[in-house]
Chains A and B, each alone.
Chain A
Amino acid sequence: MTMMIEIKNLIKKYGRETVVNIDSLRIKEGEIYGFLGPNGAGKSTTMKMILSLVTPTDGKIQIMGREMNDNTRVALLQQIGSLIEGPSYYSHLTGMENMEIIQVLKDVPKKNIEKAIQIVGLKNHMNKKVKNYSLGMKQRLGVAMAISNFPKLIILDEPTNGLDPAGMEEMRKLIKTLPKDYGMTVMMSSHILDEVEKVVSSIGIINKGHMIFEGSLAELKRDNHPSIYFKTSNPQKTFVLFKEKNSELREEGVLISDLSDSETAYCAKKIIDSGIELYRMEERTKSLEELFIQLTGKKSL
C-alpha cells in the first residue's frame, strides 16, 4: 500500500533541548491515523514539521512519496489540508468572507467552498462575523477551510477541542466519512482517547518526543495482554498468593494484569490448590486510556 506520510529519524531541537526524535512514522493511504501523546510530547511540533511550518533540525519527511523540501513544498501543500492548534480565521470578517479568502488562497472553485460549508454544517451562519462564533463554530470553520481543496491528506490537531458532546459526535462522523467518501487520508491528534478509539484505524503514541508505539489498535491490544479478574471466596488470601505479580485487590476478588493464557491457567490452578473457592474468571480488556497510561505513565486528560 502507498505511504501517504513517511518519516525517518526526524529531530527537532530548540537550543539544547530535543523536543522531537522520531525514528519512524508511517501513515498508509486512506487510513485514519490517531497521533496520541501527553501534553508537550511533541505531537503539534511533528505535525508542524510535516506541514513545513517548523523547520526540522534533522531527518526526512516524505509525503506521497516525495520528500518535503523548498522545491516540493508548494506542490505538496496544495494536496494537504490542515487544522493546527485550533482554528485559524479572520475574526473581523464573516464566515463567508473568510471562505472567499481561502478560495483565492488555495485556488479552488466556488463549488468546493459551498460543499465544504455544507459538510461542516455552517451554511446558516456564514454571514455572521467570526468573532461572534462559538468555539465549536470556529472549529467547524477551521475544518471547512482545511477540506476546501478536498486534499489527499488532512492533518487535524485536536479537532474536537471546544466542541460539546453532540459536536464531538458530529465531528467524529465527519472524520470517518473523509476517507470513505472523499478518498482522504486523515492524521489526527487528540487527547480524548475514547474519541480516537472510535475513529482511527491505526495509531502512533509519542512520549517525550519519541514514538513509543505505532501500529493498529488491534496490535496495541494484542501486545498488551488483558487483565483477568478472579472472584474468589477469600480475596485477601488470593491477593497474597499473587502479590509478586501485577495484581490489584478488589472488593470481591483480585485483578491481575498482563496474563497470557498459560499464566491464567496457572493462576486458576494455584487458587484452587490453595483451598480457595474460585467463583468466576472475567477477562477485562484494557481501554485505550489504560494502555496509554501504561505506555506513557501519564493520564491523558
Chain B
Amino acid sequence: MINKIKKFSVENKKYRHLYLSLIFLLFLFMDMGIVIMTALDSNFQSTINKPESYSWLQLINSYLIAKTIFMPTLLAVITSRVADIENRGDMWKVLKTSGWTMEEIFDIKFLSIFLKYIIFQILEGILLVLVGRKVGITMPIPVERLTVTLISIIAISFAIMTIHYFLAMRYENQLIGLALSVCGSLSGIIGILLPFGISRFILYSYYAHLISTEFVKTGKDQWGLKLVPMRLYPLLVSALLGIFVFVWSRRKLKKLDF
C-alpha cells in the first residue's frame, strides 16, 4: 500500500509544469460560460421559477450541451499530456526497468487523471448550483436528477477517457486521440439531431441523452417544455463500456515491446 502511495505521488510529481490545472480551469470557464449565457438569456429570465419552465433543468440542459461540445477535447488533451511526457523523453524504458509493470503504470496514470477529473466534475456541479441560485432560481434543487446526471456524466467521461487513454498510451502520435475527440464532439452534436434509436450508438452523444426536457407543441405556433423520464442507459452502457475498454487496453499494452 505504501508502495502504491509512493508511486501515486511520483506520478503527480511528473505533472509539475504541465499546466493540467490551467487546462481544467479553461474548460471549466467554457462550460460555465454556456450555463451563464443560458441563465442570463431574456427568455429564461422571463420564465424563471415558473413551474412549467423547469428552470433548473434548463440550466442543466445547457450544461449538458457544453459537455457534448467540450468534454471529448478536454479528455483527449489530458490523456495525451500525461502519456506524452513518457513518450517525449522515452521514459517508458526507465519505468519498466525500475521494476514497474505495465499494468501498474497504466493503473496509476489513469487513476491520477481520473481523480483530477472527478474533482473538476464535482466543482462544476457546485458551480452550476451556485450560478442557478445567483441568477434567481428559488425553486428547490432537483437533487435526484442532478445527482444522476452528474454520476452519468462521470460514467460517460470514464468511457471516453479509457478510449483516449488507450490511444495516447499506444500511439506516440497524439494527434490520433485529438482528432478523434474533434470527431467525437461533432458526432455528439449531430447525434442530438438524430433519432435516439440511432444516436444511442454514438457514445459521444450520451451527454445530450441526459437532457431532461423536450419541446412539445402546445398550440398553433406555441411550444412548451415536457419533462422526460430520467434515462439510465447512458450511465449503465458507459460504465460497462469503460470497464471493458480499460481491461482490454490494459491487457493489450501489457504485451507491448519497448
A74 to B6, CA, bound (A): 17
Cα separation A130 to B94 with both chains bound (whole Å)? 16
Residues of B within 8 A of A93 (CB): 14, 16-17
Residue numbers in B under 8 Å from A86 (CB-CB): 90
Contact A90 to B14, CB < 8 A, known contacts A55-B257, A104-B6, A130-B89: yes
Q: Is A53 an interface residue (CB 8 A)?
A: yes
Of all chain A residues, the one with the shortest Cβ separation from B91 is A88
> Residues of A contacting B17 with CB < 8 Å?
92-93, 129
Interface contact A77-B98, CB-CB below 8 Å = yes
A60-96 contacts to B, CB under 8 A, are: 73-74, 77-78, 80, 82, 84-86, 88-93
Near A by CB (< 8 A), chain B positions 38-89 give: 85, 88-89
Is there a chain B Cβ closer than 8 Å to A51's Cβ?
A: yes
Does A53 lie within 8 Å of B258, measured CB to CB? yes
User: Counting chain A CB atoms within 10 Å of each CB, which of B90, B92, B94, B99 scores highest?
Assistant: B94
State whether the Cβ of A102 lies closer than 8 Å to any Cβ in chain B.
yes
Nearest residue (CB) in A for B13 is: A101
A219 within 8 A of B: no
User: A106 near B: Cβ within 8 Å?
Assistant: yes
Total B residues in contact with A, Cβ cutoff 8 Å: 27
Residue of B nearest to A84 (CB): B93
- Counting CB contacts under 8 A, is A97 at the interface? yes
Q: Please name the residue on chain A nearest to B3 by beta carbon.
A: A107
Contacting residues, chain A, for B100 (C-beta < 8 A): 105
State whether the Cβ of B18 lies closer than 8 Å to any Cβ in chain A: yes
A194 contacts chain B at the CB level, 8 A cutoff: no
List B contacts of A286 (CB < 8 A): none
Nearest-CB distance from A110 to chain B (Å)? Answer: 14
Q: What is the bound-complex CA distance between A97 and B91, given in angstroms?
A: 14
- 8 Å CB contacts to A: which residues of B129-153? none
Q: Please, how many angstroms separate the alpha-carbon atoms of A78 and B100 in the complex?
A: 10
B98 touches A106 (CB 8 A): yes
CB <8 Å contact, A92 and B96: no
Q: Say if the beta carbon of A52 comes within 8 Å of chain B.
A: yes
Chain B CB within 8 A of A252 CB? no
CB-defined contacts of B91 to chain A, threshold 8 Å: 88-90
Known: A93-B16, A106-B98. A88 touches B10 (CB 8 A): no
**Contacting pair B16 A74 (CB below 8 A):** no
- Give min CB distance, B3 to chain A, whole Å: 8
Within 8 A of B (CB), among A24-81: 48, 51-55, 73-74, 77-78, 80
Q: How far is the CB of A92 from chain B (nearest CB, A)?
A: 5
Q: How far is the CB of A137 from chain B (nearest CB, A)?
A: 13
Do A88 and B13 have beta carbons less than 8 Å apart? no
A54 x B258 contact (CB < 8 A): yes
Instruction: Let me know if B97 is at the binding interface, CB within 8 A.
Output: yes
Q: Tell me whether B94 and A88 are in contact (CB under 8 A).
A: yes
**Which residues of chain A come closer than 8 Å to B255, judged between CB atoms?**
55
Given contacts A90-B85, A97-B13, contact A105 B95 (CB under 8 A): yes
Chain B residue numbers with a CB within 8 Å of A80 are 97
- Complex contacts, A90 vs chain B, CB 8 Å: 14, 85, 88-89, 91
Instruction: From B14, B92, B98, B101, name the one whose CB has the most chain A CB atoms within 10 angstroms.
Output: B98
- Inter-chain CA distance A277–B17, complex, in Å, is 77
Query: B200-238 interface mask toward A, CB cutoff 8 Å, 1 = contact, 0 = none?
Result: 000000000000000000000000000000000000000
Give bound CA distance, A101 to B7, whole Å: 10
Query: Quick check: A77 and B13 within 8 Å, CB to CB?
Result: no
Task: A36 to B113: give the CA distance in the assembly, Å.
Answer: 43
Those of B90-134 within 8 Å (CB) of chain A:
90-101
The verdict on A145 contacting chain B, using a C-beta distance below 8 Å, is yes
Q: A80-B97, A89-B89, A104-B9 are in contact. Are A97 and B16 (CB under 8 A)?
A: yes
Question: Do B13 and A92 touch (CB < 8 A)?
Answer: no
* Distance, CA A100 to CA B9, complexed state (A): 12
A54 and B257: CB pair below 8 A? yes
When C-beta atoms are compared, the residue in chain A nearest to B6 turns out to be: A104
With A90-B88, A93-B17, A105-B98 known, 14 other A-B pairs at CB within 8 A are A48-B258, A53-B96, A55-B255, A73-B99, A77-B99, A82-B93, A84-B97, A85-B90, A88-B94, A92-B16, A92-B17, A105-B94, A106-B98, A107-B6
Query: Which are the 5 A-B pairs with shortest beta-carbon distances?
Result: A105-B98, A74-B99, A104-B10, A89-B89, A53-B258
Q: B: which residues have CB within 8 A of A? A: 6-7, 9-10, 13-14, 16-18, 85, 88-101, 255, 257-258
What are 18 pairs between A and B in contact, CB < 8 Å? A52-B96, A53-B97, A55-B257, A74-B101, A77-B99, A80-B97, A82-B97, A88-B89, A88-B92, A90-B91, A92-B18, A100-B13, A101-B13, A104-B9, A105-B94, A105-B100, A107-B6, A130-B89
**A contacts, CB < 8 Å to B:** 48, 51-55, 73-74, 77-78, 80, 82, 84-86, 88-93, 97, 100-102, 104-107, 129-130, 145
